[in-house]
A and B are shown apart, each in its own frame.
Chain A
Amino acid sequence: GENVEQHPSTLSVQEGDSAVIKCTYSDSASNYFPWYKQELGKGPQLIIDIRSNVGEKKDQRIAVTLNKTAKHFSLHITETQPEDSAVYFCAASMFGDMRFGAGTRLTVKP
């Protein structure tokens, strides 16, 4: 089955700096790669996603890249703000089956 690895497990940045989180997946059949943000006591919230036929997608301060050949994808957050502090999860999905990375705890220091 699909296996998703996520790095780093923790990330601390200064407000205004950029943050990058990287994931790799094992199943070349996966065709959908979402990113979720989870705040304390809440469910994961979809913040951006990328499909297998696209290499890059951007939404304001957030961008995702996908390298299908290498089977890795990344989340880039620019101009980080304290409210970006949360746990971020990557995931890979093929049809109904979705597997999550272990998560990255991002801390943005004011």
Chain B
Amino acid sequence: QVQLIESGPGLVKTSQTLSLTCSVSGDSIKTSTYYWTWIRQHPGKGLEWIGYIYSSGDTYYNPSLKSRLAMSVDTSKNQFSLNLSSLTAADTAVYYCARGVGPTMELHWFDPWGQGTLVSVSS
């Protein structure tokens, strides 16, 4: 059974960089052909797709976040990470990691997801 668990600071300051990690068990990031994805949910709002990193290291980011975003993979730890810079209060959200399943980067869906981690941005 594949499980994903997010970890990171619950509180970060405005203008700083957020670093989150997703630990994967039950599957190998290195050998799999999935799109390792980050999604967030602002308080009381819907879901926002942030972007993904493929096992090869290829990435695709939401254009609205692209200039502040970087994702990476650590195959030795079976983890993938998100770095989001120049934080503002608008980045306060629950951040989820998920496995993107499907044949192509245009055609995939998310299964399973992590439980999410709340990140609050404050000065």
Do A and B originate from a single complex? no
